[in-house]
Amino acid sequence: MTEEEMALMIEKAAEAGAKKALREVGLSDEEANSDVKELRNLLDTWRITKRTAVKTIVQAVTYLFLGALITGAYLNFNDES
Backbone region of residue 26 per phi and psi (left: phi > 0; alpha: psi in -120 to 50; beta: other values): left
Contact 35, 27 (CB under 8 A): yes
Tell me, what's the pLDDT at 81? 62
Q: For position 1, what pLDDT does the model report?
A: 85
- Supply the pLDDT for residue 58: 97
Q: What is the per-residue pLDDT for 11?
A: 96
Domain map (residue ranges) of the chain: 1-30, 31-81
At 43 the pLDDT is 97
Give per-residue pLDDT as tens, 24-77.
988 888 888 898 899 999 999 999 999 999 999 999 999 999 999 999 999 988
* pTM of the predicted protein model: 0.58
Taking 90 as the threshold, does the pLDDT of residue 14 lie above it? yes
Among residues 33, 32, 35, which one has the least CA distance to residue 43? 35
Do the beta carbons of residue 52 and residue 61 sit within 8 Å? no
**CA dist list (Å): 48 to 10, 51, 53, 62:** 41, 5, 9, 21
Nearest to 21 by CA among 9, 34, 32, 6: 32
